Amino acid sequence: MSLRQFYPRKNMRRQVAGWKLFVLYATLVVAIGLQISYPLIEGESLRLVTIATVYWAAAAMFLHAILAYGVIYALQFLFITFTYALLVEQIGSKTGWPFGTYEYSGSLGYQIYGVPLVVPFAWIMLAHPIFIAARKVTKNWVFLYGGLGMMAWDLFLDPQMVSAERWVWDFTGTSVPFQPEIPLSNAFGWLLTGMGLMAILNLALRKDRRKVATSTAVPDFFLMWTWFSGVVGNLFFFDRPGVALIGGVVFGLVLLPYIFLLRFGPPASN
């Protein structure tokens, strides 16, 4: 009889080096700091901060993916999300489907055939935490939960960017509640394309590929911060209580099962 069976296997996951965690946390802090400064500035500074916020937040999520799930996972996530988002935005801005008719201004920097380069990185910065949450909340409905999360996030994003004239809508008909400048078709488009992205990611990215003992505290915090800042910003800085209400309620309801899971853990199996 082998003696090996008398000894439990050691935990083979390495601890993350302290300097790597410092870089991760520092990147997130910069992104949050830029977001906090958003309602306090204007003009060219506001334009630059808008672009920088997305890149820093996307960098924080990408760094977390590397540290928590490995370089291959992170690169696959980056390639899939960037390519998918760019393709969807190209189709959407040129055909009006599925979001509705819209056009980007030139204020968001370098464009790829009419779509600002920063836009796919905006998808990356929130797709990562939402995808993590979706996989934890459900096994069979990752695409639906993730799609709802992406749609709910845009209830905060679109009115803010339209007010700043980063893009403009051309439509007649039903609008998003409390957002008369944004068509209801945009919410449908985000739900549809968000479900598509989450389905592809769920098929392409293997589950539990973590090589190190890194928690999901960074993406979890960013999710909660997105909800909190969306509500507080629209209530006290942007004078958009309707946006705070609809975005806060919808995004809050989407996050509720994930918050419950983080607080109490998954349900016990029989």
pLDDT at 214: 62
Answer yes or no: are the C-beta atoms of 155 and 240 closer than 8 Å. no
Q: Which run of H or of E encompasses 102? A: strand 102-104
Under the banding of pLDDT at 50, 70 and 90, the label for residue 206 is confident
Q: Which of 235, 257, 236, 253 is nearest to 244 (CA)?
A: 235
User: Which residue did the predictor score with more confidence, 213 or 24?
Assistant: 24
Write down the pTM of the prediction. Answer: 0.91
Q: Which of 192, 188, 171, 189 is nearest to 180 (CA)?
A: 171
Residue pLDDT, tens place only, 139-179: 999 999 999 999 999 999 999 999 999 999 999 999 999 99
Answer yes or no: are the C-beta atoms of 159 and 179 closer than 8 Å. yes
Does 225 score more than 70 pLDDT? yes
Q: Which of 212, 209, 208, 210 is nearest to 18 (CA)?
A: 212
Mean pLDDT over the full length of the chain: 92
Answer yes or no: are the C-beta atoms of 201 and 161 closer than 8 Å. no
pLDDT at 130: 98
Asked if the bond preceding 98 is cis, omega within 30° of 0, the reply is yes
Does 135 score more than 90 pLDDT? yes
Q: In the numeric block, which tokens belong to residue 237?
A: 């800085």
Does 61 score more than 70 pLDDT? yes
63 class by beta-carbon count within 10 Å (0-12 exposed, 13-18 middle, 19+ buried): buried
User: 111-116 long-range CB contacts below 8 Å, 24 or more apart?
Assistant: 112/86, 114/90, 115/86, 115/89, 115/90
Tell me the C-alpha distance between 220 and 4, whole Å. Answer: 39
